[in-house]
């Protein structure tokens, strides 16, 4: 008998963690809105004071070694030295970060683990609609006020969603195609020429499926081309009837080139990584992606052939801005503000522009820099695979409502894939 009793008490101990979990899920629902508003009313210097010796966790997509190196080798020591902040970078896909926040929101968890997230587009729309973000906070950042072109449309709108101060612009990228100049002498200038090229070189071109961000952007270019530029799409927001009625040619075009694509169009790469792998192994001769300088780091580490060059089509190239935001339940909002402000500083932005690490365009306005910095910027070499700035600027096209992305995905499946 004694033996049984001992076993039972032991088991109550086993149960303890579960009870704690159950109880903690039920409590913890205080309202923090008032505290948040108070934070935003403080003086800038008091943030710096409070942030000192604290830890700031940034959750961000970690699939690019150049970007990771920029964070770990430049930003992290910089924050430590200037503000005594310990930066803790956690690699996670943005949609999963939002899922985590969404779960925390449902469980009424007011103290989370994330202080900064890297975000834009659909993810921002979802975060905004579900009240997952803290703010509006951008107005309190000195560097935002001083260096950001606050009137610019691609900073006021993120893929058609109004930003409303909930995220601060970190950088911007433009969509370019990369090709191997050793194999392709004269890259196409329009979708028509691309189609001719694809037919002359069967199996050497493919785009990622549109569930991938890059594949979706490729199709969006085609959509713009089809209806004569993004203006009509920008005017009315998402208009399903309009695009459905005016895009037969687009799907016709895709069905027409499909038999000449990689693997005879039977399958498409599931991700940009996969497309780049095919390009680096020479299976295909062109790849593509956001960030006009993306090929540089691949050329430097030997993944892409040195003869890699880039091009944009005459009908333009889509560019977008990406942002930094603070979750509603960030445990260190003041630290996050200081860190984001530092990331928007000319120094941090110009190091990011340099191809050593990342090589993408700045989130701040180059015109607002000091003369010294302007000169430095002009002297920076972006590398042989990057198109000249004026050519990129001329080609720049804005993003439209994110719902077009979803429409493209659905429609592509019906019109291109299921017709085989």
Partner 1 sequence: MKWFKQTKYVWPLVPAVLFVFIFVGYAIMMALLESITINGQWTLDAYKQLLENQSFRDSILFSLKVTLTSTFISLFIGVVITRWMYYYLRNYWVKVLIWIPMLFPHFVWGYIVILLFSQSGWFSGLLYELGLLEDFTHFPVLTQDQHGIGIISTYIFKEVPFVILIILPVYIQMNHQYKHVVQTLGGSKWEIFKTVEWPTIFPVLSEAGIIIFAFVLSAFEVPFLLGATYPKMVSILSYDWFFQGDWSQRPMAFAAMIIVTSIIVICSIVLFSMTNRLRIRVSKGER
Nearby residues of 273 by Cβ (< 8 Å), 6 or more positions away = 63
Q: Which of 156, 234, 350, 413 binds partner 1 (CB under 8 A)?
A: 413
Beta strands (DSSP E) in 149-305 are 157-158, 161-162, 167-180, 286-290
- Residues of this chain, 47-66, that bind partner 1 according to CB under 8 A: none
Per CB under 8 A, 417 contacts partner 1:
yes
Omega cis (within 30) before 136: yes
With H, G, I as helix, E, B as strand and everything else as coil, classify residue 311.
strand
- Residue 64 φ then ψ, to 5°: -125, 120
How far is 130 from 100, CA to CA, in rounded Å? 13
Q: Report the residue number, 284 or 369, with the smaller CB distance to partner 1.
A: 284
Give the nearest distance from C-beta 61 to partner 1 in angstroms: 13
Tell which one of 166, 168, 278, 400 touches partner 1 (CB under 8 A). Answer: 278
Within 10 angstroms of residue 390's Cβ, the number of other Cβ atoms is 8
Looking at 209, 225, 334, 342, which residue binds partner 1 (CB under 8 A)? 209
Q: Which is nearer to partner 1, 270 or 389 (CB)?
A: 270
Please work out, in degrees rounded to the nearest 5, the angle formed at the alpha carbon of residue 29 by the alpha carbons of 124 and 53.
70
Binding window for partner 1 (CB under 8 A); candidates: 77-85, 92-100, 140-148, 319-327 = 92-100
Q: Which bin fits 135, alpha (ψ -120 to 50), beta or left (φ > 0)? A: left
In the complex, the smallest distance separating the C-beta of residue 417 from partner 1, rounded to whole angstroms, is 5
Q: Which is nearer to partner 1, 147 or 268 (CB)?
A: 268
Report the residue number, 232 or 277, with the smaller CB distance to partner 1: 277
Which residue lies nearer to partner 1 by CB, 4 or 26?
Answer: 4
Nearer to partner 1, 69 or 413 (CB): 413
How many residues interact with partner 1 (rule CB under 8 A)? Answer: 36
DSSP letter for 272, please: H
State which of residues 23, 35, 107, 270 lies at the interface with partner 1 (CB under 8 A). 270
Q: Please report whether residue 383 would count as binding partner 1 according to CB under 8 A.
A: no
Distance of CA 53 to the CA centre of its chain: 29
Judged by CB under 8 A, the residue of 39, 64, 68, 203 near partner 1 is: 203
User: Would you say 134 and 326 are in contact if contact means Cβ atoms under 8 Å apart?
Assistant: yes
Residue 382 corresponds to which tokens in the numbers above? Answer: 């972006």
Q: Which is nearer to partner 1, 74 or 118 (CB)?
A: 118
Residues 13-32 that bind partner 1 (CB under 8 A): 14-15, 18, 21
List the structure tokens of 291: 């960030």
CA distances, 286 to each of 121, 138, 391, 399 (Å) = 26, 39, 20, 23
Distance of closest approach, residue 281 Cβ to partner 1, in angstroms: 4
Q: Which parts of 3-130 are beta strand (E)?
A: 55-60, 86-91, 116-119
Rule CB under 8 A: say whether 334 interacts with partner 1: no
Query: Would you count residue 184 as binding partner 1 (CB under 8 A)?
Result: no
Which of residues 2, 4, 27, 34 is near partner 1 by CB under 8 A?
A: 4
| Rounded least distance, CB 203 to partner 1, Å | 6
**Which class for 307: exposed (0-12), middle (13-18), buried (19 or more C-beta within 10 A)?**
middle
Piece of 112-120, 239-247, 266-274, 353-361 that binds partner 1 (CB under 8 A): 266-274
Q: What is the DSSP string of 315-331?
A: T-EEEEEEEEE-BTT-T
> Which residues contact partner 1 by CB under 8 A?
3-4, 7-8, 11, 14-15, 18, 21, 95-96, 99, 122, 125-126, 129, 203, 209, 211, 263, 266-268, 270, 278, 281-283, 402-403, 405-406, 409, 413, 417-418
């Amino acid at each position: 008998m004694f033996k049984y009793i001992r076993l039972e008490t032991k088991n109550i101990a086993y149960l303890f963690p579960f009870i704690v979990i159950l109880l903690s899920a039920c409590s913890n629902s205080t309202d923090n809105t008032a505290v948040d508003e108070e934070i935003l009313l403080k003086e800038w210097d008091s943030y710096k004071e409070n942030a000192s010796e604290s830890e700031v966790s940034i959750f961000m997509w970690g699939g690019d070694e150049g970007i990771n190196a920029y964070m770990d080798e430049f930003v992290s020591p910089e924050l430590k030295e200037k503000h005594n902040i310990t930066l803790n970078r956690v690699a996670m896909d943005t949609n999963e970060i939002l899922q985590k926040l969404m779960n925390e929101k449902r469980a009424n968890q007011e103290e989370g683990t994330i202080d900064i997230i890297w975000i834009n587009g659909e993810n921002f729309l979802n975060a905004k609609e579900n009240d997952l973000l803290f703010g509006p906070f951008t107005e309190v950042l000195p560097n935002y006020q001083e260096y950001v072109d606050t009137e610019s449309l691609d900073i006021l709108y993120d893929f058609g969603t109004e930003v409303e101060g909930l995220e601060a612009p970190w950088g911007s990228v433009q969509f370019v195609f990369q090709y191997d100049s050793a194999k392709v002498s004269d890259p196409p200038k329009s979708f028509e020429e691309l189609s001719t090229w694809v037919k002359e070189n069967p199996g050497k071109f493919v785009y990622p499926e549109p569930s991938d961000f890059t594949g979706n952007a490729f199709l969006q270019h085609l959509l713009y081309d089809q209806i004569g530029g993004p203006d009509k799409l920008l005017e009315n927001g998402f208009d399903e009837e309009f695009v459905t009625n005016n895009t037969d040619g687009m799907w016709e075009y895709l069905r027409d080139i499909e038999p000449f694509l990689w693997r005879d169009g039977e399958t498409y790469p599931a991700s940009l990584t996969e497309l780049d792998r095919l390009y680096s192994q020479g299976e295909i001769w062109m790849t593509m992606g956001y960030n006009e300088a993306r090929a540089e780091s691949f050329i430097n580490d030997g993944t892409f052939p040195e003869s890699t060059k880039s091009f944009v089509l005459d009908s333009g190239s889509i560019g977008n801005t990406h942002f930094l935001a603070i979750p509603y339940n960030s445990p260190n909002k003041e630290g996050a503000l200081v860190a984001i402000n530092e990331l928007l500083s000319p120094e941090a932005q110009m190091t990011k522009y340099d191809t050593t690490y990342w090589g993408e365009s700045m989130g701040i306005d180059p015109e607002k820099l000091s003369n010294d910095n302007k000169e430095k910027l002009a002297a920076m070499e972006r590398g042989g695979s990057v198109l000249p700035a004026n050519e990129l600027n001329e080609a720049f096209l804005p993003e439209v409502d994110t719902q077009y992305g979803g429409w493209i995905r659905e429609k592509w499946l019906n019109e291109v894939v299921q017709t085989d």
